[in-house]
Amino acid sequence: AQSVTQPDIHITVSEGASLELRCNYSYGATPYLFWYVQSPGQGLQLLLKYFSGDTLVQGIKGFEAEFKRSQSSFNLRKPSVHWSDAAEYFCAGTNNFNKFYFGSGTKLNVKP
């Protein structure tokens, strides 16, 4: 069965520190993968996506993610976190662009 797993429910980092949010996928074929951010009381906004090609993808707001087929992972990274990055982050995937599967989300807290 297709699925996306985010093993971390909550993460707290200090402002200025680096960030890595984990995402693992389970797909039979090559997946297409996404990271979204949801600020409190808001809808979701796409940060970046991976379809094919270069396995390191750049997104908005200084985020990047690396697709690693050998580890079935698509982890989100940011070198220096800002207080405004506090939000909930969702990894999502599809292999046919009809049905989309989301992870359970990771809530990011940023300490001053």
Partner 1 sequence: EAQVTQNPRYLITVTGKKLTVTCSQNMNHEYMSWYRQDPGLGLRQIYYSMNVEVTDKGDVPEGYKVSRKEKRNFPLILESPSPNQTSLYFCASSLDRTDTQYFGPGTRLTVL
Which residues here bind partner 1, judged by CB under 8 A? 6, 9, 32, 42-46, 49, 51, 90, 92, 97-105
> Closest CB to partner 1 among 43 and 112?
43
Q: CB of 89 within 8 A of CB of 23?
A: no
C-alpha 51/C-alpha 30 separation (Å) is 9
Which of 51/83 has CB closer to partner 1?
A: 51
What are the structure tokens assigned to 29, written together? 């074929």
Q: Tell me if 10 sits within 8 A of 89, measured CB to CB.
A: no
Nearer to partner 1, 14 or 42 (CB): 42
Residue 50 CB, shortest distance to partner 1, in Å, is 13
